[in-house]
Amino acid sequence: MKDASHPFFRPLWRRVALVAVCAAWTVVELVVGDPTWAVMTGAIGAYAAWTFLIAYKPATETAEAPRDPPAG
């Protein structure tokens, strides 16, 4: 994902929840005994942690409100 600054990901709890779900699914796969899926979901979780928690930079509001044209 190139742009993690989508408005959906702005609240911290959503980003943490996404990483937590990936981590929980990794544990489920390890308990079930499927190391292939555990590695894949673990890699997705690690990438999500990097993208959404460590390197996340929220989009700045740079758009200004339109100004009225000068009266003339």
Determine the pLDDT at residue 64.
Answer: 55
Determine the pLDDT at residue 21.
Answer: 97
CA angle 3, 4, 8 (to 5 degrees): 120
Q: Could you identify the residue written with the tokens 């003339």?
A: 72
Determine the pLDDT at residue 67.
Answer: 66
Closest alpha carbon to 48 in 22, 14, 12 = 22
pLDDT tens, the chain, 72 aa long? 456 678 888 899 999 999 999 999 999 999 999 999 999 999 999 999 999 999 888 776 545 556 666 666
Determine the pLDDT at residue 63.
Answer: 52
Classify residue 41 by burial, with Cβ atoms within 10 Å: 0-12, 13-18, 19+. Answer: buried
Answer whether 11's CB lies under 8 Å from 52's CB. Answer: no
Determine the pLDDT at residue 57.
Answer: 83
